Amino acid sequence: MDEVIQLMQLLVDGHIDYDTFAGDYITLGREIRDEQWTALETSGLKRESDELGRLVLAGLISKEEFGKRNKALWDQVEGERIKGLSRESEIIAHIFVEADAYESDPQQRTYYQIGEQELLAEVRKALDELKAIHSTKD
């Protein structure tokens, strides 16, 4: 978690540029995601998680039931830096999407892409929330 907070802080404080942040953050986000999925597989719970996905897609359980049962599975997983399906993980995933949607050149931006001010605003909100969560765990 510290490296996520540090990277966000570097952007907020103006110590790195937006392109560097986006690239570094996407790399870090992928590492965290891959670590979470590896931990799920190692735990032996991936088959159960896949089955829940099949059930919700088939309409045999509701999205709400899927969410509760999948969260309960992830709560059993050990070994990730950042717990899968935790609030921290959700925040990290959100900023991953924002960093991926960042386009520095306003002339090149499409309707779904964002610029510096939008990215900075999202990172500030995420950073504040991550710091609050992190401070309660210390």
| CA 67 centroid distance within chain | 16
First to last CA, the chain: 12
Residue 130 has pLDDT above 70, yes or no: yes
Nearest to 113 by CA among 104, 101, 123: 101
Q: How far apart are CA 84 and CA 34, in angstroms?
A: 11
Predicted TM-score of the model (pTM): 0.88
- Residue 88 sits at the vertex; the CA angle it makes with 136 and 120, to the nearest 5 degrees, is 105
pLDDT digits (tens, 9 = 90+) for 107-120: 999 999 999 999 99
pLDDT digits (tens, 9 = 90+) for 42-98: 999 999 999 999 999 999 999 999 999 999 999 999 888 888 888 999 999 999 999
Write out the H or E segment, with its range, that includes residue 87.
helix 87-101
Domains of the chain and CATH, by start: 2-42+84-137 (1.20.120.650)
